[in-house]
Amino acid sequence: MGLFSEFKEFLYEYKVIPLAIAFIMGIASTALIKSFVDNIIMPIITPFVPGGGWETATVELGPIVISWGAFLGELVNFIIIAFAVFIIAKKVLQEEKVEKK
């Protein structure tokens, strides 16, 4: 068996290509969700943030400055991405159970 055919067998056996596709789709969807949060969700929240700018919202505790606005944006990103992954995983696992029966 040649080196190329061994490599091809490795790719199919360990499902590397679907994993690579999922990785690329994950990166693309992360960028899309970040844009959604930054440009749609957070402008709706901005009027409720003291000072108006959610990206620059901070709390000063003496010499310590905590940038909670940027953290809030990233937290919203994480929650949306985690929920999307949960929904997709639930759907895939449900289809897997149906196929096994």
* Residue 98 is assigned to a structural domain of this protein: no
For the chain, how far is it from start to end, CA to CA, in angstroms? Answer: 36
Parent domain of 47: 1-91
Report field, pTM of the whole predicted structure over 0.85: no
* Residue 11 is assigned to a structural domain of this protein: yes
* Residue 99 is assigned to a structural domain of this protein: no
Write out the H or E segment, with its range, that includes residue 64: strand 64-66
Per-residue pLDDT tens over the stretch 33-43: 888 888 888 88
| Dist. CA 78–CA 90, nearest whole Å | 18
* Residue 1 is assigned to a structural domain of this protein: yes
Output the pLDDT for position 97: 66
- Torsion angles phi and psi, residue 60, rounded to 5: -105, 125
Write out the H or E segment, with its range, that includes residue 89: helix 68-100
Count the domains in the chain. Answer: 1
Contact assessment for residue 57 and residue 49, using Cβ atoms and an 8 Å cutoff: yes
* Residue 101 is assigned to a structural domain of this protein: no
CATH number where 69 lies: 1.10.1200.120
